[in-house]
Structure 1
Amino acid sequence: MTGDGTRAVRAGLPEAARNEPTMPGPVFAAHFHLPGEVAGPYTYGRDGNPTWSGLESALSELEAPGEEAGTLLFASGMAAISAVLFSQSRSGDTVVLPSDGYQVLPLVREQLTAYGVTVRTAPTGEDAQLDALDGARLLWIESPSNPGLDVCDIRRLVAAAHERGALVGVDNTLSTPLGQRPLDLGADFSVASDTKALTGHGDVLLGHVTTRDPALLEGVRRWRKIIGAIPGPMETWLAHRSLATLPLRLDRQNANALALAEALRARPEVSGLRYPGLPEDPAHKLATAQMLRYGTVLGFTLPSREHAERFLARARLVEDATSFGGVRSTAERRRRWGGDAVAEGFVRFSAGAEDTEDLVADVLRALDESEG
């Protein structure tokens, strides 16, 4: 079996054909020639597109190397998350969500509840969701959690959920398939917002769902057809093109994240530093056992809202933006959105692909200049 780098460069591309492009361009089509009976893979633009097929095949190869799996693309990460949660639950079912997950999950909880689904929540850390599994139809895991960066034992939770007859979906956005493979850890669904590290340039909204179970895939496909949350061909093509550099980007960004975490732990104004790659981090041992890379995101708290805002204003190589995983470093005072249980001075920082020395120096200078 080839390595991740080779796979990322080649995945989802057609066989070489004389005088044809090595990577076909995006196909823009609302409909396709369809004489006679309905047949073939492409009939209408909401159901399928050759450009989607290429990236879906590529992502399947990365999510489940050497094994059969199916992937479906969506217009955003939330479209992909919603597709699993709403296609797999019915009125009377119980769904278990993380209480410390992505800030849109409370809205999802409200909607599930409105549809007659019972929703239980528990934190990611210390595998607390185990206590909420009895009678559940679906367990939703976010590991590492966003923005707290707690990690749970995915294998343990999956085994417990399956023992009780529950399906398991894992939000793998922070890791990508090159940082963690939920399907290899037993999960039924691996889901991600590809807006983040997988595409890596801050210019595409996209999401995907991968599963090894054809019946589960069809349920998600039906939901996509009903809702119509489909990706555009240009966004899909850009994502596929970007996939080739994913291992290179992640290597640099992970190295930068670790270097920043090591530098920040010596700063007296920094508290609550979290990065799974630090040996002293509470999640380090478990992350090392189940992750392939520790990720590009770290979190830390400055003494006040004003201190954090001064730091962000003075950092020259860091964009004050809400996304993460891109080649340009981003950071934000996360509490400004109001949805996360974090301190006013909490900063979620996403390491980019800048030269390590330059990025660390810029962050330390900004910290020096932000002291009140």
Structure 2
Amino acid sequence: MTAPDDPPLTGPGRDHGPADDADGTRVVRAGLPAEEPYEPPLPGPVFAAHYHLPGEVEDAPYAYGRDANPTWTRLERAIAELESPEDTDAEAVVFSSGMGAISAVLLSLARPGRTVVLPSDGYNLLAALRDRLEGFGVRVRTAPTGGNAQRHELEGASLLWLETPSNPGLDVCDIRELARLAHEQGALVAVDNTLATPLGQRPLLLGADISVASGTKALTGHGDVLLGYVATRNREVAEAVRGWRKTVGAIPGPMEAWLAHRSLATLDVRGQRQAGNALAVAEALAARPEVSDVRHPGLPGDPAHALASRQMSRYGCVVSFTLPDQAYANRFLAHLRLVSDATSFGGVRSTAERRGRWGGDPVPEGFVRLSVGVEDSADLVADIRRALDAAAPTPS
């Protein structure tokens, strides 16, 4: 079943709204139905396991709750508008989590005997998916994100998976160049766009075939929704991942989909504030002698800055850095007042964690991933400086 047709929607390429609207305007209105007298701008969630279904199923826009839901439809159209504003053929498919979306792409498009290229420094659950793929007879090659190293593994590949900026190391690769090289090999290109969001980077406009993200992070931004999505302009890919979602049942709840759509309206203002705060925090950390390897694409001295400036419109909310050891990092985290010790990133409240506690990431024991929220910038910097002072070991 393909995505059902709803009444005309606002936004670029639809019946309302010019395609040249700025992102701040577009994101507020993305995916909304045409205005109706006395109706809310964003209708509430539709809770339905089944629908009244007269006649045959073939052309029914909504037949069963695992296939489609009007609340998903509005969110999917909103995401498609944001990921590919100029293309009315772009489609999005939403999932119950980011891993649901990632798995749908890799497991529906890979085949025994084919070759998939993954980043060796990507999200740590990619390692589990690599094992799964290899168990199904798929050949998997890996290379780090930095320096476009994956280009050396493309011969004979059918799918190239990029994650840029990478999580948690914040390296960046050239989407346009790698997509060109992969297409010469006949490979599809997927980009994990979680950290950048569609307002910070548009992989489909840079030549990628697929943009994938965990909506759990900055897209929804409040730490209260698990969600994922796949966006593409390739109809066959959209049908494959939609079929995978139906088969495995990785569907989002209507309330989660509605909350995500509601949260999109503030993505631009949240993202701008977080990006500014993140740069201020990164600059403050870089000035501290006990802190090493500060990474944030917005820092002029960051190894990824020049490339990120060419393909990103904002640099995201995540800063990574390394403290001398595990104990030092734990003391630092314990002394923070405004930054919670928690995993995930992209929320309005700042969080940080010693990433090595999970295992699986090739990072030092004192490595910290910090997600910068929308608090006052000066307050955040002051809190971090105080925590660093308190974490210093007492001279013997």
| Structure 2 counterpart of 1:53, one-letter code | T
| Secondary structure, counterpart of 1:349 in structure 2 | strand
CA drift at 1:40? 2.0
- For residue 140 of structure 2, give the secondary structure of its aligned residue in structure 1: strand
Q: SS at the partner of 2:39? A: coil
Give the C-alpha shift of residue 319 in structure 1: 0.8
1:274 corresponds in structure 2 to 295
2:122 to 78, 101, 106: 101
Which whole-Å deviations, capped at 9, do the CAs of 1:126-184 have from their partners, x for residues lacking one?
00000100000100000011101000111110000000000000000000000100001
Q: Deviations over 1:330-368 (max 9, x none)?
A: 000000011101000000000000011111111111111
Q: Choose which of 111, 131, 137 in structure 1 pairs with 2:152.
A: 131
**Structure 2 residue 380 is matched with structure 1 residue 359:** yes
TM-score, structure 1 normalization: 0.99
Name the aligned partner's letter for residue 264 of structure 1. Answer: L
Is 1:288 paired with 2:309? yes
Summarize the alignment of residues 303-318 of structure 1 with structure 2, pairs less than 5 Å apart. Answer: 303-318=324-339
Cα displacement (A) at 1:225: 1.0
Alignment partner for residue 20 of structure 1, among 39, 47, 57? 39
Q: Residue 201 of structure 1 corresponds to which residue in structure 2?
A: 222
Q: SS of the residue aligned with 1:191?
A: strand
CA positional deviation for 1:220: 1.1
Distance in 1 between residues matched to 2:56 and 2:368, nearest whole Å: 57
Query: How big is the shift at 1:108?
Result: 0.2
CA distance in 2, matches of 1:15, 1:136: 44
Cα distance in 1, alignment partners of residues 127 and 86 from structure 2: 37
Out of 54, 62, 68, which is 2:82 matched to? 62
What's the secondary structure of 1:141's corresponding residue? Answer: strand
Partner deviation per Cα, 1:288-342 (whole Å, 9 max, x = no partner):
0000111100100000101100110110000101110000000000000111010
Select which of 310, 324, 328 maps to 2:345.
324
Letter in 2 for 1:279: P
Unaligned runs of 5+ in 1: none
User: Is residue 221 from structure 1 mapped to residue 242 from structure 2 by the alignment?
Assistant: yes
Residue 81 of structure 1: how far off its partner (Å): 0.5
TM-score, normalised relative to structure 2: 0.93
The whole-number CA distance in structure 1 between the counterparts of 2:38 and 2:355 is 50
Q: Does 1:118 align with 2:139?
A: yes
Report the residue type matching 2:271 in the other structure.
L
Q: Deviations over 1:7-42 (max 9, x none)?
A: 110010111111111110000000000022113211
1:92 is the counterpart of 2:113:
yes
Q: Secondary structure at the match of 2:204?
A: coil
State the number of aligned residues: 372
Q: In structure 1, what is the Cα distance between the partners aligned to 2:107 and 2:49?
A: 26
Q: Distance in 2 between matches of 1:338 and 1:15?
A: 48
Q: Which residue of 1 aligns with 2:55?
A: 36
Amino acid at match of 1:7: R
What does residue 50 of structure 1 align with? Answer: 70
Letter in 2 for 1:59: I
Residues 73-97 of structure 1: CA deviation (Å, up to 9, x unaligned): 0000000001111111111110000
Report whether the alignment pairs 1:348 with 2:374.
no
Classify the secondary structure of the residue corresponding to 2:149: helix
Residue 275 of structure 2 is aligned to residue 254 of structure 1:
yes
The aligned counterpart of 1:231 is 252
Aligned equivalents of 1:60, 1:240: Cα separation in 2: 12
**Is the counterpart of residue 9 in structure 1 residue 28 in structure 2?**
yes
Q: How does 1:135-214 map to 2 (within 5 A)?
A: 135-214=156-235
RMSD value over aligned CA atoms?
Answer: 0.6
Distance 2:307 2:251 in 1: 35
**Equivalent position SS for 1:184:** helix
User: What's 2:10 paired with?
Assistant: none
Superposition deviation, residue 66 in structure 1: 2.3
Per-residue CA deviations over 1:262-306 (Å, capped at 9, x if unaligned) read: 111110000011111011100000000000111100100000101
Counting aligned pairs with the same residue, the percent is: 68
Cα distance between partner residues in 2 of 1:241 and 1:222: 26
Runs of 4+ in 1 over 6 A off after TM superposition: none
**Matches of 1:78 and 1:338 in 2, distance apart?**
18
